[in-house]
Amino acid sequence: MIRCDQTVAWTALQGHFEGHGRELDLREAFARDPARFEAFALQAPEVFADLSKNLWDLATRKLLLELARECALEDRRDAMFAGAPINTTEGRAVLHTALRAPRGFGPFSHEVHGVLDALLNYAEGIRDTTASGIRDVVNIGIGGSDLGPQMVVPALDAFAHPGLRFHFVSNVDGHDITPVLRKLKPAETLFIIASKTFTTQETMANAAVAREWFLAQGMAEADIARHFVGATTNLNAATAFGIHTTFGFWDWVGGRYSLWSAIGLPIALAVGSDHFRALLAGAHAMDRHFATAPLEANLPVQLGLLDVWYRNFHRFTSRSVAPYHQGLKRLPAYLQQLEMESNGKCVDFDGQPLTFGTSPVVWGEPGTNGQHAYFQMLHQGTDVIPVEFIAVKHPTHAHADLHAKALANCLAQAQALMRGKTTEAAAAEKAPTASPTLDARTVARHRSFPGNRPSSMLLLDQLNPRSLGALIAMYEHRVFTSGAVWGINSFDQWGVELGKALASDLLPRLVPGDQHGATTGLDASTAGLLRRLTA
Ligand code: F6P
């Protein structure tokens, strides 16, 4: 496999960046080319993208597409869909796409649809709250066994069962589960223990606390069967915990790609079978787009290539995500795991060190809240940070005036980032809050904006199960694209192991009163902190 930095296209991109790319001015580019919006507009299933306010031109895009071809992106993509073991360090296939393929299509269809049918049937039983008696659902899981459902359930609030409340407990810090348990009645609560491995320290510890609390409230061991359900690939461990109802999945589903599997049970409980199937169908439509659209018209491919352009040529280190829909408030957190756990790697497929940057930092908050917090830095800070706006045409609420304000703000922010404001323009304005004792030129310099700051705009018609499924799958394939170009394994996560092992070593040293040898072998900082915590 050829490494991206050894390709002809990479060298050409470097030359192009030095010659034109670095200096590209968006305002001039729009003035030069009245068709720029159309040239960089892309319609994928459920998602329209305006990529014209990015720091690239047609030549950049052409070279990036050549880079993708030289890096055999299409072969790698096809290998993923076909079930080849592309997660080489774990010897596993990567088949989350099979989870949303229609019945009879794709690998493992029989197994996938067997579990899906059973899961949805179970979910409908619980959603009959008169019969089930369930009012509160507590998902206990972390990482991929938490972030997907935790993001999707509020996003689809308009479609959710009005009589069920959802709680997500992930952190091993007891301040997470304690206030949740305080609100619950055991006879009306369903605990979902969600863990691919069923060994994760945080999840097992919280599950044990939940069971202890449940029994301490006067419930019997026999009641656990009705009030605890598992979602895992490790059915034996779930049974050993005392769980009788378990929905399985497979090792070819990565944790951060698992919301489509049994890990999606909270989503199915919230929105029901039809909407859950629509979520899968939306993702499948995006899968087909990614698998079949020419690279020139392929949205995840173009977004992934733009990430490469920004990270490796402009050397931008982060990307901000601003969904102008409150339902998507957890999307940035979800994307942090999806992108940074997938592509935060420093060696290639062969374990050789990389000489170029990989995953950017992904961060953000819903608009308009972010505008009143960190947008100052996006507009006038010293670093250029590409912003990804997500706007939704039709709201699922009845307040048209609020919606218009949200949309106006979203468009205005993208406009302001690009346009900027010259010192002359600032000087010509009245600034009522500016100090009258400061000279006008100085005030104008503080009030000017450099502009030419890039952004993408993703547009959905409505945030519904189908469009959300497509949007998430779009992000998955975008991460695949940049990972494939960088030549890294986007599907392992060895980087989380060291901290876990060290925590196991430190845990016994934190036992109060037992200080014998507590700090032996530790660095002075960790030892000093441990002494303070145990004194
Ligand atoms: O943080 C590492 C990780 O393995 C994630 O990849 C995964 O989503 C999370 O832990 C939870 O793992 P599990 O579902 O096995 O409890």
- What is the per-residue pLDDT across 211-228, written as a single tens digit (0 to 9) for each? 999 999 999 999 999 999
- Looking at the domain assignment, is residue 118 inside a domain? yes
Q: Do 308 and 181 fall within a single domain?
A: no
CATH code of residue 264: 3.40.50.10490
Q: 471 CA distance to ligand 1 centroid (A)? A: 22
- How many structural domains is the chain composed of? 3
Q: Is the CB of 237 under 6 A from ligand 1?
A: no
pLDDT attached to residue 180 = 98
Residues 331 and 415 in one domain: yes
In a domain, 522, yes or no: yes
Residues 161 and 269 in one domain: yes
Mean pLDDT over each residue of the chain, to the nearest integer: 97
Q: Are residues 303 and 253 in the same domain?
A: no
> Is position 78 within any domain?
no
- Shared domain check, 254 and 130: yes
pLDDT tens-digit series, residues 147-193: 999 999 999 999 999 999 999 999 999 999 999 999 999 999 999 99
Domain membership flag for residue 79 = no
Indicate which atom in ligand 1 lies nearest the CA of residue 141. 16
Enter the pTM of the model: 0.97
Q: How confident is the model at residue 535 (pLDDT cuts 50, 70, 90)?
A: confident
Q: Whose CA is nearest to atom 2 of ligand 1?
A: 496
Residues 11 and 65 in one domain: yes
User: What is the pLDDT, as a whole number, of residue 518?
Assistant: 85
The C-alpha atoms of residue 205 and residue 147 are separated, in whole angstroms, by: 18
Residues 231 and 361 in one domain: no
Structural domain of 367: 4-70+293-419+453-486
pLDDT at 516 (0 to 100):
55
pLDDT above 70 for 407:
yes
pLDDT interval class at 517 (50, 70, 90): low
**Cα dihedral 50, 53, 59, 62 sign:** negative
What is the distance in A from the centroid of ligand 1 to the CA of 145? 7
Q: What is the DSSP letter of 144?
A: G
447-496: per-residue pLDDT in tens?
999 999 999 999 999 999 999 999 999 999 999 999 999 999 999 999 99
Tell me, yes or no, whether 286 lies in a domain: no
Find the 228 Cα to ligand 1 centroid distance in Å: 20
Q: How confident is the model at residue 1 (pLDDT cuts 50, 70, 90)?
A: confident
206/156 same-domain check: yes
Q: Is residue 323 part of a domain?
A: yes
User: CA separation (Å) from 187 to 205, 223, 272, 416?
Assistant: 22, 9, 22, 53
Tokens of 367: 């608009």
Q: Which of 366, 114, 112 is nearest to 261 (CA)?
A: 112
pLDDT digits (tens, 9 = 90+) for 88-144: 999 999 999 999 999 999 999 999 999 999 999 999 999 999 999 999 999 999 999
Choose the residue to mutate in 493, 497, 500 for probing ligand 1, maximizing ligand atoms within 8 Å of C-beta.
493
Per-residue burial over 493-504, b = 16 or more CB atoms within 10 Å of its CB, e = otherwise: beeeeeeeeeee
Q: Which of 90, 142, 150 to mutate to test the pocket of ligand 1 (most atoms within 8 A of CB)?
A: 142
Going by C-beta distance under 8 Å and a sequence separation of 6 or more, which residues neighbour residue 425?
448
Look at residue 515 and tell me whether its pLDDT is greater than 70: no
In a domain, 80, yes or no: no
Does residue 358 sit in helix, strand or coil? Answer: coil
Establish if 320 belongs to a structural domain. yes
Task: Please tell me whether residues 349 and 476 are part of one structural domain.
Answer: yes
Q: Could you tell me if 239 and 380 lie in one domain?
A: no
Task: Tell how far the Cα of 199 is from the centroid of ligand 1, in angstroms.
Answer: 9
